[in-house]
Amino acid sequence: MTDEAPKTLKSHGRLSISASLKPRDLMEEPFRVKGAWKAKIITLFPDAFPGVLGLSLTGKALDMGLWALETIDLRPFGIGKHLNVDDTPAGGGAGMVLRADVLDAALTKAAEGTSQDRLRWPIIYLSPRGRPFDQAMARRFSKADGLTMLCGRFEGVDQRLLDHHHIEEVSLGDFVLTGGEIAATALIDATVRLLPKVLGNQASTEEESFSHGLLEHPQYTRPAVWNDLAIPDVLQSGHHGEIAKWRQTQAEEITKTRRPDLWQAYLRRKS
């Protein structure tokens, strides 16, 4: 993948790579701003992307080449006539496990053109056993050059692959999905919106939930009265100092009651 911008803005930052031996058509190279952040996704379901990432602000940014997306279809790396990517679990039990050798070949493909330095290019396996994804992680990923994500299916992936490549496991939360694609989509969305120029108004990422360790204050908009419910007076007062104070108090109250864990961490950081 080169960083060169093509002549037109018509193409979009979407590219699917298979293990086909055909040379890639350079004319199909998607537009990408030089050095733009890139997500590489190893998946059995490349059609799942860009999905919702192709809409709204992330979609516009993708079309503008502010970030890029490359899916790497796992299937062509499969073994034998049927291109098998999985096999039964060693030791018995239900389901199937994605093979280390098959995944390794896809990871080798994904490594092309990426930094070996994991700080600059993290490699992630989406997994319920991983560290819970949070805003701090999204910030860390947004500062990297890009990210390779491995989407599991079935019972997951052979442990040896994770150990051998020192792959970081990241979880979307304490529940089990059928595959890593939805988790990868959420992770990319949260990361991409922190990239410069993706959101029109950069200040909004500085004020929103988690940015200062607190959940966000309530938001209101027109009409001023709806269903006999009025917008709090202070927000209509025009006193910026009072408004900021009110928002801070609200954010603290909401965090204290809804997320005592975040509140304690906030107090620790302040002291």
Collect all residues with Cβ–Cβ distance below 8 Å to 51 and sequence separation of at least 6. 181, 185
Nearer to ligand SAH by C-beta: 12 or 153?
153
Token representation of residue 208: 């929103």
Nearest distance from residue 118's CB to ligand SAH, in Å? 19
Nearer to ligand SAH by C-beta: 66 or 170?
170
Dist. CA 10–CA 74, nearest whole Å = 28
Q: Which residues share a beta bridge with 43?
A: 73
Nearer to ligand SAH by C-beta: 24 or 129?
129
Nearest distance from residue 131's CB to ligand SAH, in Å? 10
Nearer to ligand SAH by C-beta: 50 or 152?
152
At which residue do the structure tokens 């607190």 appear?
214
> Using alpha carbons only, what angle is made at residue 111 by residues 118 and 16, rounded to the nearest 5 degrees?
125
Task: Enumerate binding residues for ligand SAH (CB under 6 A).
Answer: 126-129, 151-153, 155-156, 171-173, 175-180, 183
Nearest distance from residue 181's CB to ligand SAH, in Å? 8
The residue at minimum Cβ distance from ligand SAH is: 152
Collect all residues with Cβ–Cβ distance below 8 Å to 259 and sequence separation of at least 6. 215
Nearest distance from residue 168's CB to ligand SAH, in Å? 12
| SS3 state at 25 | coil
Nearest distance from residue 74's CB to ligand SAH, in Å? 12
Nearer to ligand SAH by C-beta: 95 or 232?
95
Dist. CA 246–CA 263, nearest whole Å = 18
CB atoms near residue 38 (< 10 Å): 22
